[in-house]
Amino acid sequence: MEKLTIRDVKTILTAPEGINLVVVKIETSEPGLYGLGCATFTQRYLTVANAVEQYLKPFLIGKDAHRIEDLWQTAMVSSYWRNGPVLNNALSGVDMALWDIKGKAAGLPVYQLLGGKCREAAAVYRHADGRDVQEVEDNVRKYMEQGLRFIRRQMGGYGGGGRLPGRRKTRSPALTTIRMLTPGASPGCLTIFEIKSALSRSRCTMFTSGSRRSKRCGWRSSWSLTGYFFWKIRSRRSSSIGSG
């Protein structure tokens, strides 16, 4: 079989629903065979695109498209400073695109190349938003009727920031939503809240304590801290807390 080489590397910038996305497209020496990968860093998308176009593209052109591990390792150590969200997202896009190419060349979905299935399905969650508690609750009920077991509840926009008409920005609407919706929650439904790393250590502790009576309540990105403090808070809560 003739060697499959990388012919071109492109970045595609798009913004469906106002969300900045970066897609890496790698074209190969075989006509029509290409791969796509996600390199999205929504807040610094132009920086990622520049890293791909100016640094990774010249390195990748002409290389063997099947040597994914070798390319990743070499690209990672090719700069003096390594890691960081820009380089990691750029490399992720390249890595996904190369695996996409390998799967297409083999005529198999990538998960088969990585060992095959380990489950028949994966759980998903939906966002139940609303301008007030009643609208949030109506949307929660709608998703529960569809059989969803994980529902993220928020009021006043993405992250539950409390951006309601006539009110200054506050986090209290999210807590109000918890208190109003918990009593009628389905026993088979896990509640998820995300408040986008907007709380200090002390306010995060107060906020999670306010939801104590909710036994099936999950938190994601409650505050912009990791490490010791995250585990300290988590050890004192009965609800699930995720940091990311």
Flag whether pLDDT at 75 surpasses 70.
yes
Phi, psi angle pair for 199, to nearest 5°:
-110, 145
Span 154-178, pLDDT tens digits = 776 665 554 444 444 444 555 555 5
Instruction: Check residue 193 and give its pLDDT.
Output: 62
User: Taking a C-beta distance cutoff of 8 angstroms, is the pair 60, 35 a contact?
Assistant: no
Whether the model clears a pTM of 0.85, i.e. scores above it, the answer is no
Instruction: Check residue 191 and give its pLDDT.
Output: 65
Which position has the higher pLDDT, 235 or 13? 13
Strand partners, 26: 9, 35
State the Cα–Cα distance between residues 129 and 140, nearest whole angstrom.
8
Phi-psi region of 84 (alpha: psi -120 to 50; beta: other; left: phi over 0): left
Span 95-145, pLDDT tens digits = 999 999 999 999 999 999 999 999 998 888 888 888 887 888 888 889 988
Is the CA virtual torsion 131, 203, 243, 79 positive or negative? positive
Look up residue 244 and give its two tokens: 């990311």
Which position has the higher pLDDT, 220 or 50? 50
Flag whether pLDDT at 153 surpasses 70.
yes
**Burial of 94 (C-beta count, 10 Å sphere; 0-12/13-18/19+):** buried
Asked which of 76-80, 102-106, 171-175, 205-209 is least confident by mean pLDDT, the reply is 171-175
User: Taking a C-beta distance cutoff of 8 angstroms, is the pair 76, 82 a contact?
Assistant: yes
Q: What is the mean pLDDT of the chain?
A: 78
Torsion, Cα 100 102 103 104, to 10 degrees, reads: 90
For strand 6-14 and strand 21-28, is the pairing parallel, antiparallel, or unpaired? antiparallel
